[in-house]
Amino acid sequence: MARLTLQDFLQLGEEQQYSCQYLYDHILHSPSICHALDIPANATCSTTDDSVQELDISDDSSLILGYDRYFMPLLELLKDVQIPINAMELTGLDWFNVANRASFRSALSSFPHISTLNLTSIKCSKYDIKALVSSMPTLTRLVFEDNQVNEYDVEVIHVPRGMSDLSVGELQSNLQGPELSRFSVTFSEGEFTILDLFAGCDSPASLRALDRLEIRGGNAGVVCDDAMVHRIRAFLSLLEFPLDDFSCGHFQIESSCLLNLGNVKSVSITIRLSNDPAETNAAVAWWTSNINVIPTVNRLIAVLIELEIDMDSLSSGSTPEWNQDIWAAFDQVLCRRDISLHRLVFRVRPLWELPSEGYNYGPIMYWLCVHCLPKTRALYRSVFKLLDDLDKKVTMPWMLIRKQYTHHNRTYHAYCVRNVEDSESEKLDAFPDDDKQSSDSSSTTPPPIQPHETVFC
């Protein structure tokens, strides 16, 4: 049999190649833990993205590992400080379907080098999350997706007296857990337990230095109501420093409450485009109001707007029937002079990464560009990036444009095409506006089109 390596220990559960008992016995009968895993002794554990060693534990409803008596002892051995495991992904685990919840929780906790933790489709309590996150001192990135987290547990957490009287800064400074730079949560059923936990005084991690915040719906039916907006506002109020990137979308908007985006540098918005005009119009109107109330003194310098096409409901080559007045208001508010955006990018792509082969985006792209967002295009030179299901750019024929300019008291028209990769314009041809030219006019060279000039569709 080939010698085992670290990779043989990093996939546990449904894709596991060797049994937990075999892996456990292999370590016990090896001269050292480093020899058993074929890793250098006393090597430095890197935390860079290009050297990730992820422990992937995938087990639907804990049917495989929940009652495996060697699983938890194996994890205890893998916590050795010499093992360079710096990321963990837990998928499908049901913490209520295990032999001993306390032992199960303890086995998954306290890995010394974990910087990224992904929790997907797990069932547990709020206390389980708190214990797991607070046990990882080097954790910086935390991702939740489609989890079911119970609010209450038999293990009650008592908040110390007087904590509720502290300011946001004092509260965050008093937290004993890791300091996160990225926090991402995706909902399927609109559960709020995770948001409440991390925005509360018993949060297992500090969010004051957060760089990136993502809050998204996991399917088209997740509602963003007043309660959801208040929770997002609570998150944003915890930040002591400007947030580099805030991403929010995939919600059915049913709220008149607005977000506080004055301390955010970059906002990523996702709007679903379907044949249901009410849903699309509500989302556009809500984001229009959010941008409109951003204070004059703000941090916002970039906006990314992803327009995701629901190809199941919006047939190929169809023309949208959305409210043009609502889009005109959206176009106008994006041009606020006191926001001073440095970059404004639009992406049109399939919803949920559905296959898009043969789908005709042309009418939608043309409608958005010409009828919905003309002022935005003119002011910010926005780049409409059409992405297919392989995330590749698609250039539409109508991107060829006609531009007018004056040189040496003569008016010229030039046909140009926008380079969708770098937002620059490339001159294809130019000619004077009048047909009757003097004998020397043919030698007149029109000026080049500058790459930074605005290009209209």
Q: Which two tokens stand for residue 53?
A: 């060693």
| Final residue before a domain boundary, out of 377, 394, 411 | 394
Q: What is the pLDDT of residue 284?
A: 95
Question: Are 300 and 429 in a shared domain?
Answer: no
| 8 occurs within a structural domain | no
| 387 occurs within a structural domain | yes
Q: For the full predicted model, state whether its pTM sits above 0.85.
A: no
Question: Are 382 and 415 in a shared domain?
Answer: no
Question: Are 295 and 321 in a shared domain?
Answer: yes
| 36 occurs within a structural domain | no
| 41 occurs within a structural domain | no
* Ramachandran bin of 116, using left for φ above 0, alpha for ψ from -120 to 50, beta for the remaining angles: beta
| 31 occurs within a structural domain | no
Nearest to 215 by CA among 251, 179, 240: 251
Q: What is the pLDDT of residue 144?
A: 96
Q: What is the pLDDT of residue 226?
A: 94
* DSSP character at residue 393: B
| 450 occurs within a structural domain | no
| 451 occurs within a structural domain | no
Question: Are 202 and 305 in a shared domain?
Answer: yes
Q: What is the pLDDT of residue 158?
A: 43
Q: What is the pLDDT of residue 91?
A: 98
Segments forming the whole domain that contains residue 422: 399-443
Question: Are 235 and 348 in a shared domain?
Answer: yes
| Final residue before a domain boundary, out of 394, 413, 430 | 394
Question: Are 438 and 330 in a shared domain?
Answer: no
Q: Which residues of the chain have pLDDT under 70?
A: 1, 46-50, 152-175, 189-191, 220, 353-356, 381-457
Question: Are 282 and 182 in a shared domain?
Answer: yes
Question: Are 196 and 75 in a shared domain?
Answer: yes
Question: Are 178 and 245 in a shared domain?
Answer: yes
Count up the domains in the chain and report the number: 2
Question: Are 326 and 411 in a shared domain?
Answer: no
Q: What is the pLDDT of residue 41?
A: 86
Question: Are 370 and 435 in a shared domain?
Answer: no
SS3 assignment for 261-318:
CCCECEEEEEEEECCCHHHHHHHHHHHHHHHHCCCCCCCCCEEEEEEEECCCCCCCCC
Question: Are 103 and 217 in a shared domain?
Answer: yes
